[in-house]
Structure 1
Amino acid sequence: MTLRHSGVRDVIAYNWPQYAAGAATAAAAALLAPRLPRALRPLARTGSVAALTLLCTATAASWHVYDRSGLYTYDWLEDLLPRIPSAYVVVSTGLDEVSAPLAARWPKAQRTAIDLYDPALTSERSLRRARRRVPPPAHAAPGRPETLPHPANSADTVLLVFAAHELRRAQDRERLFTECARLLRPGGTLLVAEHLRDAANTAVFGPGAWHFLPRQEWLRLAAHAGLEHSAERRFAGLIAAFAFSKDRK
């Protein structure tokens, strides 16, 4: 059972300027085509069709991932975590849709939420719109990538779900992963779920896929923090969920 009540509607609500721009581009190209020289008309019509196609594929992909893939049931956590955590930390960068479902899923576990939202670090306007619609949990503590307000060696699991890519500077992501590793107990797991900058995401999201990061970047960040890549799972061919483990020594 999922506590998430939306899906593709959220994506459209958070990113409506991009949807509006795409629709306007398609309409403008279609209206302009008859007024152009004959040689340019096919190009304008092709541009109109391409813009509409991209809107449709992006919307369909979002619906498939967020409403149909089972991503937000969190049943897949059992495949990536060695055990139910007794203490876990959810780190978000402005939008926390993880804390509430996990509190219901792991009611006996000690939970902590840390909010890294800072317009200077996370510049996407879609995050600001999302934050207005879904305020952070009342118990969330503010933090910085280099300073997570939580004791060292105190969590079985730290979760970064659609969060770390919003830190656009590599050094901020490196600091965040290092801090997540500090929070983990020996044998603990950092769980990262993200879209990837790859062929599949580019095919359905077009230029928007460049906001995501390549798979190799997540592996690099984990290695930088001294974590081992222990498991991985894909959703709908577009989402990767990684489990990175801390050495038991």
Structure 2
Amino acid sequence: MTPRHSGVRDVISYNWPQYVAGAATVAAAALLASRLPRALRPLAWTGSAAALTLLCTATAASWYVYDRSGLYTYDWLEALLPRVPSAYVVVGTGLDEVSGPLAARWPQARRTAIDLYDQALTGEGSLRRARRRVPPPAHAASGRPQALPHPSHSADTVLLVFAAHELRRAEDRELLFTECARLLRPGGTLLVAEHLRDAANTAVFGPGAWHFLPRQEWLRLAAHAELKHGAEHRFAGLITAFAFTKDRK
């Protein structure tokens, strides 16, 4: 199996500017507290404590999700896919931690990886840092949201795991879902796994949860591509996986 480059240390290394900014906020608020009038000091201490708490909860959540939840065993796929696919496509937007484990899990299946990374579409600095550390698979083909380089009706399953939210423009996500539907055979499944912009993720990631998308957006995108909402699975308390199916025609 291809070694998995993940875990809380990788999350920190990909997002170190945010961690530096958070630590600086903690220190600055604490320093300010000692220089403010006595009546205002509790406000500064509260701000420092809140920033420190957010750093700790975000780090703890990342550790649990990426190191302890079983996310990368992919056992949770059994709750969403009715059978092992004979052919599947992994679509990534810069960081592909899916292709290696699935190649070991489904050794008989025909596999394809497509990389959509484009700084104009996915401009996050964390993706650039992650991509330098974990290059795309050697067999990955470059694609665009509106043009996935793969034949129509050729895959039982297309997987978007922590990928589609990196396309920040709604129109790019719509194009991508439409293309994923084109690749699927009748009865095939588009599997999407993401953090959601919801109460649980906001509680642990704070403003960082705004980077995620709400559940309704994923349902809207599936409907736009004429895919039906099938199974849905929540795990680790913070990740939601959707199975969207293509009509049998």
Shorter-chain TM-score range: over 0.9
- Indicate whether 1:22 and 2:14 are aligned: no
Distance in 1, matches of 2:200 and 2:3, equals 28
2:76 maps to 1:76: yes
Q: For 2:102 and 2:216, how far apart are their aligned partners in 1?
A: 28
Counterpart amino acid of residue 99 in structure 1: S
Distance 2:2 2:234 in 1: 19
| Structure 2 spans left out of the alignment, 5+ residues | none
User: 1:191 Cα shift?
Assistant: 0.3
Structure 1 segment 84-233 matched on structure 2, within 5 A: 84-233=84-233
Matched residues in 2 for 1:133 and 1:152: separation?
33
Partner of 2:248: 248
| Alpha-carbon contact 2:5-2:134 (below 8 Å) kept | no
User: C-alpha separation between the residues in 2 aligned to 1:221 and 1:162?
Assistant: 15
Shift in Å, 1:82: 1.1
Moved more, 35-44 or 180-189: 35-44
1:27 maps to amino acid: A
Residue 59 of structure 1: aligned partner: 59
CA distance in 1, matches of 2:3, 2:192: 20
For residues 58-94 of structure 1, the C-alpha deviation after alignment (integer angstroms, 9 at most, x for no partner) is: 0011111111111110011111001100000000000
Q: Is the 8 A contact 2:2 2:100 kept in 1?
A: no
CA contact (8 A) 1:86 1:110 kept: yes
Q: Aligned partners of 2:40, 2:164: CA distance in 1, in Å? A: 43
d(CA) in 2 for partners of 1:208, 1:246: 33
Q: What is the TM-score of this pair, normalised by structure 1?
A: 0.98
How far, CA to CA, are the matches of 1:237 and 1:147 in structure 2? 34
Q: Give the distance between the partners of 2:7 and 2:41, measured in 1 at CA.
A: 37
TM-score of the pair, normalised by structure 2: 0.98
CA drift of 1:3 comes to 4.7
Does the 8 A contact of 1:227 with 1:244 survive in 2?
yes
CA distance in 1, matches of 2:9, 2:79: 28
Match of 1:186, SS state, is strand
Q: Residues 2, 71 of structure 1: CA spacing in aligned structure 2 closer, same or farther, 3 A cutoff?
A: farther
**How many percent identity over aligned positions?**
88
CA distance in 1, matches of 2:74, 2:122: 26
> 1: CA distance between counterparts of 2:170 and 2:237?
25
CA contact (8 A) 1:189 1:245 kept: yes
Q: Which residue of 2 aligns with 1:36?
A: 36
Q: Secondary structure at the match of 1:76?
A: helix
The answer (yes or no) to whether the contact 1:2–1:73 under 8 Å persists in 2 is no
Q: Secondary structure at the match of 1:43?
A: helix
Q: Distance in 1 between matches of 2:215 and 2:89?
A: 23
| 1:59 partner amino acid | T
| Deviation sequence 1:117-167 (CA, Å, 0-9, x none) | 000000111000000000001110000000000000000000000000000
Measure the CA separation in 2 of the matches of 1:94 and 1:129: 10
User: d(CA) in 2 for partners of 1:216 and 1:239?
Assistant: 15
> Any runs of at least 4 consecutive aligned residues in structure 1 with deviations exceeding 2 A, and if so which?
1-6
1:158-186 deviation per Cα after TM superposition (whole angstroms, max 9, x unaligned):
00000000000000000000000000000
